[in-house]
Structure 1
């Protein structure tokens, strides 16, 4: 038997941005988005049925093929909901207007189907509860794309005529889709209680590659293990105006660290200060330079905070410490040596450079190179620098690279050059180097290694050269 979800897009369009990049249209609808919509209408006594659904393997997806999808884009200025002294809107006092770009899909067929292989794992009562939830969902994506949803059990999982089937695959593909996973409901519940958006629960664990059924059907696709970073959350704060030079990365990450710790309620979570948690990753503060492009100049486009896997309460306290109380998520940062304040903005739903997207720093990829130099954990024996670099990866809980290249000079366009006195204070008088590493399996970032990995150095960026497969 198969658990089937039938979706009909009533306006024959689907308005939803593609994950962290709102310039891209999301198509097909992601099962994680549908799951979050079900949670949004569920009562407490209905959550147990959703917990049963999240334990199932990712579904088959039957939709109009990508080639048949058109895109619609809307641009304009939207009035903010928050009042502020600086607001100067002509018709809405004490408010401002921010530029927004919305993207949606125009499929040829407005019908979508998800099929979960059930094999009797769900009782008839659970299926009925899920169907009651589905029928209460008013829309998917934005409110401009109303939809009807209905669950049922089918014996013949043949999709509707004209739809193309996509299946999960362990091979890397161009189609990355967010799916629910065990524990996803708990994350949504915690975010719901804090009135936070559901997309914050969609870390690397939610990402699965899909491919069209029939692609390379005559060939057996080998299973490829993947390594997932210890940091499921990467909170990116984009510079609004001034963009500092990359060689200032350590003083900016130190300023961000002071601000976050000062804004987090006592007692501070151990993962935030790093004391009493030997061997466990703690919060890392990063500068994200413009790298990897022939025109890259190494300027810091954003700062970021990488949060390791934590209990939900600790995670949310740290998020509040990062973002403060401003619902508009505009952050002022005072930096030692500068008179002016630097304006940072947390705006994942706005158009922004690729450097300031989560995908730029998470891969997955097999080949990674330093965006900021790696500070070695120890002085290398017999001057074997590659072995010391590999050891730094193992010490950071990462896989040991299959191949290591080292260089005094940057190994990718725009990578940051640092003089010894520009390293974080904790790392000065240590040996440091640029490096390129290759792994035996795809690795999800962010990748942080070396003695300064929590303080702005030792950040790697994925490279998609010949070695990534």
Structure 2
């Protein structure tokens, strides 16, 4: 294994994740940005052939794993955005005009107009990420071929910044990198990062067009210094012949390929005999602004389902069965389909039952590429950043949500493992709705068997004991009777009365 190590010498990283918007800082650094820093060092320091060979070898490697600590983001007064500075424009209209050399005042005015203190100011944002640890590692399996080792070390030493020119770094080759925090994953991931690929160096070279730009500038400078008309004529002809379309263009690099990144898989616990048919890696959405109470669970999940179906409904294409919960003929599907969860602030001394976010539990075994193709365009914007999603039920509820990308959000309620880790005993937070009416003197025993059947139906071990009670065993949860009743779709009448439940099993089972 080897890695490219980066140390942010200022303790912060300045790079815009949203392109020209410059409102959001990039973190963790995208592998393609690091590759472009290496390529820039090569472009500007002689273009040694052995270093070019190293870059061509690097661009063909698979996406690297990344070690990067969590970061905070610097914001301006009042928060909500990066610090805004007012900087001089690159040039002024006055300075670009040829002054009248016979008018000393005009000549002085033109000269002063080129000085920064006399130029107009324009607002500019400087998005900054401040990591808890300034060291970052991009690591690959395998080793560095011996012919590439010395040139790679040389290239790393030439890199002085990654992202903005003020984002100073020290870069080195590391043979024993620490364990990665983020690894490439198939399908959906917490992060969507730009990576390089075969042909990336040639593409950067074409877009930079450095040789042509330098050659054009040299001819223009010689033409300005020429004093003889014959020499000027010759230089103009050379400019016209070599550059018939005028000044050559140097374009900004375009984003490379995209790769999903997620947390490394933890070793499976062999003691767990059964697993739910749902994938434990939940897609967690954090709610923005005022959080509703658990009473609004049905409103929230209905709004989330409606937003998901509306965003993923391609013209002329059917919504997949795993997402809609309906077969092609409109009937309820018999296959596993997505479940919607309302992670609340509960099980704490000061818990008040507010819903902190929403989560999508995807069926285990779902093709990651299919899930990503459907959900990624809805969850992310064109820069790969989490999109701000509007949730509206058409009447009472309106809020915004965003994909949670932090490994450890401040609210433990938004940790996926808080709701999916194996446990011998578990209790539901929201009331459980039974799939049938249970009457008679033994209705409580029948209801307990319904819950046991439901656990087996989703792949969990059958609980040994089930307790049904109008009060949840979790702190901060309202009584079951305070939740609005669930209406039947057929006639709008009340469904089976919901109630919290708790179960225990001699074997490990996943929590509700």
**What's the TM-score, normalizing by structure 1?**
0.55
CA distance in 2, matches of 1:398, 1:265: 32
Residue aligning to 2:454: 392
Q: 2:132 aligns with which of 84, 90, 105?
A: 105
- Equivalent in the alignment of 1:369: 427
Tell which structure's C-alpha radius of gyration is larger: 2
* Residue 271 of structure 1, CA deviation: 2.2
Cα gap change, 1:422 to 1:185, in 2 (>3 Å)? closer
Corresponding residue number in structure 2 for 1:283:
338
Q: Say which SS state the counterpart of residue 230 (structure 1) adopts.
A: coil
Of the candidates 467, 470, 473, which is equivalent to residue 408 of structure 1? 470
**Equivalenced residues, count:** 359
Give the secondary-structure state (helix, strand or coil) at the position aligned to 1:208.
Answer: coil
Q: Say if 2:238 is the partner of 1:180.
A: no
Shift of 1:354: 0.6
Cα-to-partner distance string for 1:318-368 (whole Å, 9 max, x where unaligned): 243456889783344333542xx6231316368975156234744534243
The 1:405–1:105 alpha-carbon spacing in structure 2 relative to 1, beyond 3 Å, is: same
CA contact (8 A) 2:190 2:404 kept: no
The one-character-per-residue Cα deviations of 1:107-149 (angstroms, maximum 9, x if unpaired) are 8xx6989797x7xxx8959998xx79x9599889999573525
3-state secondary structure, aligned to 1:289: coil
- Map 1:83-232 → 2, pairs under 5 A: 103-105=130-132, 144=167, 146-150=169-173, 178=181, 180=183, 183-184=185-186, 192=194, 201-202=261-262, 206-208=264-266, 224-225=271-272, 227=275, 229-230=278-279, 232=281
Question: Is the partner of 2:322 in helix, strand or coil?
Answer: helix
Q: Unaligned stretches of 5+ in structure 1?
A: 17-29, 64-68, 82-90, 153-158, 160-164, 168-176, 210-221, 448-459, 461-469
Which residue does 1:212 correspond to in 2? none
What is the match of residue 31 of structure 2? 37
Cα distance in structure 1, aligned partners of 2:488 and 2:122:
48
**CA-CA distance at 1:411 after TM superposition:** 1.1
Q: 2:466–2:503: 8 Å Cα contact kept in structure 1?
A: yes
Aligned to 2:19: none
The answer to whether the aligner puts 1:50 opposite 2:62 as a matched pair is: yes
Structure in which a larger fraction of residues adopt strand: 1
Aligned to 2:46: none
Aligned counterparts of 1:106 and 1:166: Cα–Cα separation in 2: 13
Counterpart CA distance in 2 for 1:291 and 1:403 is 24
In 2: Cα distance, 1:310 partner to 1:287 partner: 25
- 3-state SS of 1:247 partner: helix
For residues 138 and 253 of structure 1, do their structure 2 counterparts lie closer, same or farther at Cα, with a shift above 3 Å needed? farther
Distance in 2, matches of 1:126 and 1:438, equals 61
**Is the contact made by 2:295 and 2:484 (CA closer than 8 Å) also made in structure 1?**
no
Any idea what the Cα deviations from partners look like across 1:229-270, whole Å, max 9, x if unmatched?
4253413140413x3332221123212222221222322233
Aligned partner of 1:302 in structure 2 is 357
Moved more, 317-326 or 245-254: 317-326
1:219 corresponds to: none
1:380-433: per-residue Cα shift (whole Å, max 9, x none)? 787244443232122123444465443221110122444485226459523533
Inter-partner Cα distance in structure 1 for 2:428 and 2:386: 33
Pairwise CA distance, 1:39:
9.5
**CA 424–47 in structure 1, closer or farther in 2 if over 3 Å, else same:** farther
Structure with higher helix content: 2
Q: Alignment partner of 2:500: what SS? A: strand
Aligned to 2:391: 333
Conserved? CA contact 2:33–2:163, under 8 Å: no
CA-based RMSD? 5.8
How far apart, CA to CA, are the structure 2 residues paired with 1:289 and 1:45?
A: 48
Report SS of the residue matched to 1:436.
strand
Q: How far, CA to CA, are the matches of 1:286 and 1:127 in structure 2?
A: 50
Partner residue, 1:434? 500
Match of 1:255 in 2: 303
Normalising by structure 2, we get a TM-score of 0.51
Residue of structure 2 in register with 1:357 after alignment:
414
Match of 1:258, SS? helix
Matched, 1:348 2:404: yes
Partner of 1:240: 289
Q: In the alignment, does 2:269 pair up with 1:269?
A: no
Distance change (3 Å), C-alpha of 1:46 and 1:322 = same
